Amino acid sequence: MTRRAIWTSIAEILRAEIASGHYRAGDKLPTEAELSQRFGVNRHTVRRALADLAAAGTVAARRGAGVFVAIASTDYALGRRVRFHQNVLASGRTPSREMSRLETRGCNTREAEALGLVIGAQVHVVEGVSFADGVPLAMFRSVFPAARFPDLLAALARQPSVTAALADAGLSDYTRASTRLTAKLASPLQALTLRIPEAAALLRSVAVNADASGLPVEYGITWFAGDRVTLTLQAE
């Protein structure tokens, strides 16, 4: 009988441990040296096992960082109504958000143009990170006219849902007026926040949302981790 290569057995063990949740999506696997010691083999054998897992899309190597359990891409629909929680729930995952900035200040030229305000008018600025099953999908910055939504930041401090906070402020519905998508490379800070390699691919979305009368209510910029999100376009 032909003897099975040892590396195939190692790959099967690691694959089973990933499938059972011992290593979860985004987790870093032990180093080649640690795996070599665990299985009593040389690094070349471990490297063959990891290469087999990578070829199957189970793990992904990041230069200078190690080997990580691959994260399945989340479909994210871009249509007239773009709602983070609904999009993530539709993909079968659990959405969450962490707010890092809730601030009121004067708007800059670009924000004023997008929201139809005079330069320096007061706006609410909201920044944070969006997650699916605890894995960061995107960083975001949203800007709202403060005069129209004076209590918006207080509402967001209670619940990190823009849709719910706007509803509390009297806006029951809003739609996407425009979206611009651009490919970018992650800065060191973005890479750290999103837990991706520096200079990894990002998809930047610059969008304006408007009320039923067409009046702008939100100017938003979102930086999606390129390998974790598949943006889909919906005809409505």
31: in domain? yes
130 and 173 co-located in one domain: yes
Q: Is there a contact between 211 and 171 (Cβ–Cβ < 8 Å)?
A: yes
Q: CA neighbours within 13 Å on the CB side: how many for 3?
A: 3
The total domain count for the chain is 2
- Of 69, 89, 105, the position where a domain reaches its end is 69
Residue-level pLDDT at 1: 42
Strand partners, 103: 125
Residue 117 lies in a domain: yes
More confident residue, 236 or 157: 157
Same domain, 23 and 110: no
pLDDT digit string, tens, across residues 85-96: 787 787 777 888
Are residues 43 and 147 located together in one domain of the fold? no
CATH code (residue 65): 1.10.10.10
Task: Of 78-87, 179-188, 192-201, give the range with the top mean pLDDT.
Answer: 179-188
Residue 4, pLDDT > 80, answer no
pLDDT at 59: 83
> What pLDDT digit, counting tens, does each position of 98-154 carry?
999 999 999 999 999 999 999 999 999 999 999 887 888 899 999 999 999 999 999
Q: Which of 48, 69, 90 is the last residue of a domain?
A: 69
Please compute the mean of the pLDDT values over residues 195-212 and round it to a whole number: 89
Residue 214: other Cβ atoms inside 10 A: 9
**Domain final residue pick, 69, 92, 108:** 69
- Domain that residue 155 falls in: 74-233
Q: Would residue 1 count as lying in a domain?
A: no
Together in a domain, 39 and 142: no
